[in-house]
Amino acid sequence: MRGWRWLAPAIVVLLAVTAWPVGRAIWTSLSTDPATSPGDRSFVGVDNYVDVLTTRTWWIAVAATLAIITVMVVLQLLLGLAFAAALRRMTVLWPVARVVVLLPFALLAVVSAVVWRDAVTTGFAAAWFRLDDLGPVGQLVAVSLGEVWRGTGITAVILLAGLLRVSTSLMASAVADGATAWQRFRRVVLPAMAPAIAVAVVYRALDALRMLEGPLLVDQPGTDVRTVPVLVWDTTFSRFELGLGAAMSVLLLVFAVLLAAALVPLLRVRRTV
C-alpha cells in the first residue's frame, strides 16, 4: 500500500471537490427547494425525478443533445482524420501546422459562439449562402459547428499521434503485396491507430455533451429545442428551482456515465495505468 502515500492527497482533494457536491446534489434533488423562498423546503422523495422524466421538454432535450453529440463527433472524427492524414504527409510544414492546428482551441468557447452566430445571422456566411432569418434551431446548428471547429484541431493532434504509430515497414510490405487502399486502411492503419480513435471519440463525445456556452447564447424564451445542459442551467440558475435543478444535474451525470459506458467497451479503450 506504499503507493497510496503518493496518491492519497490528490484523491482526497478530488473526492472533496467532486463526490461531496454530487452527494449534495442527490440530497437536494429529493426535496423541493425554491431558492426564492428558502422556508418552503420539504422532502418529496423521487417526485422531482418523476417530474423531469415525464415532461416532453426533457425528452426532446435528450434527443436533441444526442443528435448534436453524434453529428459533432462524426464531423470532428472525419475532419480530424483527413487533416491528420494530410499533416502526416506534409512533414515540411509541421513547424507551422503544429501551431495553427491548436489555434481554434485557444479561442474561448463564448467568443467562438458569438462570432459563429453573427456569421450566420448578419455576417459573411449569411451573405455568401443567402441565409435569411435562420431561427433558433439554425443558430444552434451554427454554434455547434463553431464548437466542431474548435475541437477538430485537438482531434487531429490525437489522431496524428495514432497515425505516426502505423509501422512504415508493414505498410511497405502491404503495398508490395498488392493490397488495395481500403485493405491497407482496414488491415494496417486502423489496428495501429485504434487506441487513438477510441480516445478521440470518447473525449469529444463527452465534451460535446457538456457544451453550454453556444446553446445558452442562442437560447430564446419559448424555443422548443434546447439541450440538456441548457435545461439544467435554466432551471438552477435562472428559475432557481434548486430541487428540480439538482434532479436534472443528477440525470445529466447519469447521461454522461451511460454515454461513457456505451462508448468505452464499444471502442475497447485501453487501460493505461
User: Do residues 101 and 153 lie in contact, with contact meaning Cβ atoms separated by under 8 Å?
Assistant: yes
153 contacts other proteins (rule: CB under 8 A): yes
Given 60, 131, 256, 267, the residue binding other proteins (CB under 8 A):
256
Phi, psi of 272, rounded to the nearest 5 degrees: -110, -15
185 contacts other proteins (rule: CB under 8 A): no
15 contacts other proteins (rule: CB under 8 A): yes
Looking at 39-47, 54-62, 183-191, 195-203, which segment touches other proteins (CB under 8 A)?
195-203
Torsion of CA 6, 7, 12, 13, to 10 degrees: 80
CB of 134 to other proteins, least distance (A): 15
CB of 231 to other proteins, least distance (A): 10
189 contacts other proteins (rule: CB under 8 A): no
In 86-153, DSSP assigns E strands to none
Interface positions, 56-75, toward other proteins (CB under 8 A): none
Counts for the chain of helices (H) and strands (E), in that order: 13, 2
11 contacts other proteins (rule: CB under 8 A): yes
Binding mask 232-251 for other proteins (x = CB under 8 A): xx--xx----x--xx--xx-
24 contacts other proteins (rule: CB under 8 A): yes
Which residues are bridge partners to 31 per DSSP? 43
Torsion of CA 154, 155, 158, 164, to 10 degrees: -120
Taking alpha carbons only, the member of 211, 198, 205, 210 closest to residue 253 is: 210
State the amino acid at position 211 in one-letter form. Answer: M
Given 44, 170, 179, 212, the residue binding other proteins (CB under 8 A):
212
Given 44, 47, 71, 88, the residue binding other proteins (CB under 8 A):
88
Nearer to other proteins, 225 or 229 (CB): 229
132 contacts other proteins (rule: CB under 8 A): no
Q: Is residue 6 within a helix (H) or strand (E), and if so which, with residue range? A: helix 3-29
Phi, psi of 90, rounded to the nearest 5 degrees: -100, 60
166 contacts other proteins (rule: CB under 8 A): no
User: What are 232's three cell numbers?
Assistant: 439544467
77 contacts other proteins (rule: CB under 8 A): no
